[in-house]
Every structure is written in structure tokens, then in C-alpha cells.
Amino acid sequence: MYLHLGRDTVVNTDDIIAMMDLESSSISKYSKEFLKISTEEGFVKNVSEEIPKSFIICEKDGQSVIYITNISTKALSGRVRKKLSYL
């Protein structure tokens, strides 16, 4: 199953490691440091031009990617649940 994250970005739900709320995660110094290092090393992709609300950590073929999106974790998880209910 695939999940739309914004713009033209779609990820396979099997590749998702975590969906994190950006506001609550930015309180932790460890989360801030993780995002800072990930950005510096080129693992972060911003898939929105609006105010970011969440970040999604994915791994595909051994490569990590962190997507920053304006879609909330609640909306993203709701999309996954909605798609699973159709199966």
C-alpha cells in the first residue's frame, strides 16, 4: 500500500519506520540533533511548501530518507487506517 505525503511524493507503507509530529519532537534535544545531522548529510526531503507538521522516516533498499510534510501525523495515520479497512 502507498501513502501520499505531499506534492508528488508517495511512499510504500512497508518502508515507513516512523511518523513523528514535528512540534512535539522538536522539544527533545535528541530529536533536534537527529534532524540537524540528517539534514546536513542529505537524508531530508521537504515535500511541502507550507508550514511543516510532521516528518516520516523511511528506509528503502538500505537507504534512509526523512520526508518533512505539512500533513499531520493524525491525518497520515488516518489515511493508512482508511486504506487498510478497504482490504
Per-residue confidence at 1, pLDDT binned at 50, 70, 90? confident
Contact residues for 72 (Cβ-Cβ < 8 A; gap 6+): 21, 53, 54
Per-residue confidence at 82, pLDDT binned at 50, 70, 90? confident
Q: What is the pLDDT of residue 64?
A: 95
User: pTM for this one?
Assistant: 0.89
Q: What is the pLDDT of residue 86?
A: 58
Per-residue confidence at 36, pLDDT binned at 50, 70, 90? very high
Cα 28 from Cα 9, distance rounded (Å): 27
